Amino acid sequence: MTPPAKDRCKAKTAKGKQCKRRAVRDSGFCENPRHAELAAKVPKKRGPKKGEGGRHPVVWTTAQWSQFEHACRAGARAVDIAEMMGVDVNTIDAICQRERGQTFSAFRGKKKGWARAALAAKQIEMALAGDRTMLVWLGKQFLGQTDKPEDVSPAQQTFNLIIGSPRQEEPEDPSASNTGGDSEGE
């Protein structure tokens, strides 16, 4: 009876057919002396052992990490950063996970937050140094100031400027209020 294909000898006969004998242990060949010679000529497989497969991990230099962090601070997408760094998008997340202990989106969010804080500090520094345009812009952004003058007394404007939250009172609708004795039921 012929053994299953996985247990057969790997040698080929002169006619090109596979040997039908059972292979001996890990050699992959039967006990035939000619086949044993073939076993010596077969090169061993190179590469990782079973369970250690896959590519070697990508390792970045300090300069590459600096370039990566700069792109994250600018808010670049993972696809763009992967193309810039010459790796796959999945590799970007794997590198962040392995080297920094967090996902790419968390890493980028942190860097982007630091960039926003640094930018706001620089803008305030410029405004306090006397840059009028920056003063006006920051007043509009942080203090709710507008270019349109309101029908508010100068004292109220000063109060709003000091407090930082302009308060507008809704004008009363004259038709909604009933002042006077013009009631129809009298």
Residue 27 lies in a domain: yes
Residue 98 lies in a domain: yes
User: For the chain, how many structural domains are there in total?
Assistant: 3
Return the SS3 of 147. Answer: coil
CA 44, distance to chain mean position in Å, is: 42
Residue 54 lies in a domain: no
Same domain, 95 and 136: no
What are the tens digits of pLDDT across the range 106-133? 999 998 888 888 888 888 888 888 888 8
- Dihedral of CA atoms 111, 116, 121, 125 in degrees, nearest 10, equals 120
Residue 29's pLDDT is 66
Whose tokens are 């982007």? That residue is 112
Residue 27's domain comprises 1-43
Same domain, 83 and 108: yes
What are the tens digits of pLDDT across the range 64-84? 999 999 998 888 899 999 999
Residue 91 lies in a domain: yes
Token pair listed for 32: 């035939």
AA identity, residue 106: A
Residue 121 lies in a domain: no
Task: Please state, in angstroms and rounded to a whole number, the distance separating the CA atoms of residues 35 and 21.
Answer: 11
Task: Please state, in angstroms and rounded to a whole number, the distance separating the CA atoms of residues 41 and 12.
Answer: 14
Residue 5's pLDDT is 60
Same domain, 31 and 69: no
Residue 157 lies in a domain: yes
Same domain, 108 and 69: yes
Task: Compute the average pLDDT of residues 128-145.
Answer: 83
30 vs 132: which has the higher pLDDT: 132
